[in-house]
């Protein structure tokens, strides 16, 4: 098995489009080991597959490409992160993952409820967000973003 992979082999094995690999290389996130032939074809070292997996996973966690570049800069330029490297780099992600889980839970719970976006189109929104009080927290769907919902109105004597 060759230790150098063509761009199409790298794309097929990593599940990342060749255009994305070229972009990652342009950004300095990965590097071809050599260029060969009249067409100057890229050849990637096999360990680049782990770097690509790291990039894809880090993006799923929510890291920007700049943040990923900063993390990868802590590694040898052409090496793949080992177990200790992975543990060190991913340790800071736990908080981000927890925040993302909480955001998804709020999304799940709020699918049929007022999300505090200001549209006031649902009957329940008028109860949960009268006069668009959620706007006081800032822009966007404030309840999805985790801002506290107001207390429900107290029952009147007629109820």
* CATH code: domain of residue 86: 1.10.1660.10
11 & 82 share domain: yes
60 & 123 share domain: no
Classify residue 22: in a domain, yes or no: yes
State the pTM of this model: 0.63
85 & 101 share domain: no
104 & 86 share domain: no
43 & 74 share domain: yes
Classify residue 54: in a domain, yes or no: yes
Q: What is the pLDDT of residue 139?
A: 86
Q: What is the pLDDT of residue 1?
A: 59
Q: What is the pLDDT of residue 29?
A: 92
State the residue range of the domain holding 8.
4-91
Classify residue 126: in a domain, yes or no: yes
C-alpha span between 99 and 81 (Å, rounded): 25
Secondary element (H or E) of residue 4: strand 4-6
Mean pLDDT by 10 residues, the chain (159 residues): 86 95 94 69 88 90 90 74 78 84 82 75 73 85 81 59
DSSP state string for 35-84: EETTTTEEEEETTHHHHHHHHHHHHHHT--HHHHHHHHTTS-SSPPP-HH
29 & 54 share domain: yes
Q: What is the pLDDT of residue 91?
A: 81
Classify residue 158: in a domain, yes or no: no
Domain tally for the chain? 2
Q: What is the pLDDT of residue 37?
A: 57
């Amino acid at each position: 098995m060759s230790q150098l992979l063509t761009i199409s082999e790298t794309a097929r094995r990593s599940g990342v489009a060749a255009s994305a690999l070229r972009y990652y290389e342009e950004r300095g996130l990965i590097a071809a080991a050599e260029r060969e032939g009249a067409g100057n074809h890229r050849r990637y070292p096999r360990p680049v597959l782990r770097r690509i997996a790291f990039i894809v996973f880090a993006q799923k966690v929510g890291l920007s490409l700049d943040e990923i570049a900063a993390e990868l800069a802590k590694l040898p330029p052409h090496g793949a992160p080992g177990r200790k490297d992975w543990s060190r780099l991913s340790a800071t992600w736990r908080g981000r993952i927890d925040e993302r889980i909480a955001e998804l839970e709020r999304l799940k719970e709020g699918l049929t409820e007022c999300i505090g976006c200001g549209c006031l189109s649902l009957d329940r929104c008028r109860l949960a967000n009268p006069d668009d009080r959620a706007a006081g927290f800032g822009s966007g769907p404030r309840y999805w973003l985790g801002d506290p919902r107001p207390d429900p109105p107290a029952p009147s004597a007629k109820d």
